[in-house]
Amino acid sequence: MSKELCEGIDQIEDFIVFDSESQKYTFKDKILEAYCSSSENGGKGQCDTESQKLSSAFMGLLEYFKKMDCENPEDDKLAQYAILWFSYKISQNRNIEFLKNTMYDIITQNEWLSEHSESIEKIKDIMGIHFEYLNRLYRFLKGICETITNCKDSSTSSKCQESAKKCSDLYRACIVQLPWREICNPYCSVLTNLKNDYEKIRENYKNLPELELTEGLSECNVECSKQEERHKARVAAQNRSSGGSEIGTSTKTSLPGLSVTPTNINNGNKLPYIAIPLILIPIILGISYKYLTPVWRKKMKKKTMKKIINLSDQKKV
């Protein structure tokens, strides 16, 4: 990262100013009007909407980066940094709904797109990252620029050292709060470029501290791999649990706070069900005694008569 790149970001920030009360952007320099799309009759371009103003400023920043002698014009890193500023600028306006394709849609409406279409398509996935994550990267970018400014005279000054320490804190914040796994790698691509730019500054200023991470944290790409492994483990666990019975599945999908045990519903009706058998028992016993006892007595009489006949026959013999 160079001093010229940081100056370009500061300059574009001065050229387009946002008013929080009116929720509108204003060009403070007419140069940005050159990047407004042409009118229907082929006349000079004019930015009538807030989105058109933003896209014009973005194209102006890309053109500035492209003409910088100290950076490779083909380097996608410059387009990444331009997107960080663009995300920050859009997020200032609460009237613009920031969705996944918001940045891409705004940019593609500008006819200057053809000049930078290749580099923009390469960073399309970065545009899909939520502005909260991109703004965190932008703060790290601004922290590096601040360090370049504060350390140009002396790398041992308190101002320089404080800026460098702030960079370490900003870098750590970018890793602690990673985006979801689908966009983790594009996010890490930008963060790695920023980290490498800081390391290049350290080559010139040996007294600057390293970008340190707290215990338990790893580099961005490693943390992304951990996210992927955790996701695979969750999917595997869900697949194992879904192989159970339908009852188990329905229990998981039941509403919070509602019991899934059917017996709880009928607790109030348990007494009638218990009382009915108790009432029926003496009735059944009474019927049994009335109808079954005579039959049993007749059978006993027959057995007794048979025994008497057998005994008398034996005596005769």
Beta strands in the chain (DSSP E): 16-19, 24-27
Residue count of the chain: 317
The H-assigned helical ranges of 205-269 are 220-242, 246-252
Q: d(Cα 155, Cα 148) in Å, to the nearest integer?
A: 10
- Domain boundaries in the chain? 3-227
Whether the Cβ atoms of residue 47 and residue 99 lie closer than 8 Å to each other: no
Q: State the pairing for strand pair 16-19/24-27.
A: antiparallel
* Tokens 């870098």 -> residue: 171
Whether the Cβ atoms of residue 16 and residue 53 lie closer than 8 Å to each other: yes
For residue 50, which of 79, 9, 11, 91 has the smallest C-alpha distance? 91
* 125 HSE (CA, 13 A, CB side): 13
What predicted TM-score, i.e. pTM, was given to this entire model? Answer: 0.71
DSSP label at residue 205: -
Residue-by-residue pLDDT tens, the chain, 317 positions: 788 999 999 999 999 999 999 999 999 988 999 999 876 655 567 898 999 999 999 999 999 988 875 555 556 899 999 999 999 999 999 888 878 888 999 999 898 888 888 889 999 999 999 999 999 999 999 999 999 999 988 888 999 999 999 999 999 999 998 888 778 899 999 999 999 999 999 998 888 999 988 888 888 888 888 888 888 888 888 888 876 544 443 333 333 333 333 333 334 444 444 444 455 555 555 555 454 455 545 555 555 555 544 544 544 44
Measuring CA to CA, how many Å separate 301 from each of 124, 289, 309? 105, 18, 12
Q: d(Cα 229, Cα 202) in Å, to the nearest integer?
A: 34
Reduced to 3 states (helix: H, G, I; strand: E, B; else coil), residue 32 is helix
Q: Note every long-range contact of 299-305, with CB atoms under 8 Å and residues 24 or more positions apart, other chains counting.
A: none
The H-assigned helical ranges of 69-123 are 76-91, 102-108, 113-122
